[in-house]
């Protein structure tokens, strides 16, 4: 255990999340407060997870994790109509989670960057552990 970590297991009773006895650690609290990101960053993170918190969008992202796809291919993979898929892609693109590029008369979609790929991979690994 590092000098800043401590065992809180003895403070919890019957699965309740609360302290049974006073255990305030001002040095730890102050350090964490000083290291907290700006509110704007936290709001952006909450918005990212809000957008990710939709089953249809997660299905789209899982497909795009495999390869770049056009809307027609996505509708076929997901068994959905084109307008529904297009709407969800617009939400994902506005949130900078997916990007698009023109190829001839088609638009191809892919995950925006390696951070999004990593989120999908880590999230999947976490769910598989349970």
- 18: confidence class by pLDDT, cuts 50, 70, 90: confident
Residue count (the chain):
130
Taking the C-alpha atoms of residue 13 and residue 84, their distance in angstroms, rounded to an integer, is 47
pLDDT of 19-35, one tens digit each?
777 788 899 999 999 99
pLDDT digits (tens, 9 = 90+) for 68-112: 999 999 999 999 999 999 999 999 999 999 999 999 999 999 999
- Write down all domains in the chain, each with its CATH number in brackets: 55-129 (1.10.10.10)
- Say which residues have a Cβ less than 8 Å from residue 91's Cβ, sequence separation at least 6: 51, 57
């Amino acid at each position: 255990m590092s000098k800043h970590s401590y065992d809180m297991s003895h403070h919890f009773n019957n699965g309740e999340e609360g302290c049974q006895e006073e255990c305030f650690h001002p040095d730890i609290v102050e350090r964490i407060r000083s290291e907290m990101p700006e509110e704007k960053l936290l709001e952006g993170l909450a918005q990212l997870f809000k957008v990710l918190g939709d089953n249809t969008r997660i299905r789209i992202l899982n497909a795009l994790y495999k390869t770049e796809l056009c809307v027609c291919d996505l509708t076929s993979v997901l068994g959905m109509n084109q307008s529904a898929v297009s709407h969800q892609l617009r939400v994902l693109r506005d949130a900078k989670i997916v990007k698009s590029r023109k190829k001839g008369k088609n638009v191809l979609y892919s995950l925006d960057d390696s951070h999004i790929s990593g989120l999908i991979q880590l999230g999947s690994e976490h769910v598989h552990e349970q």
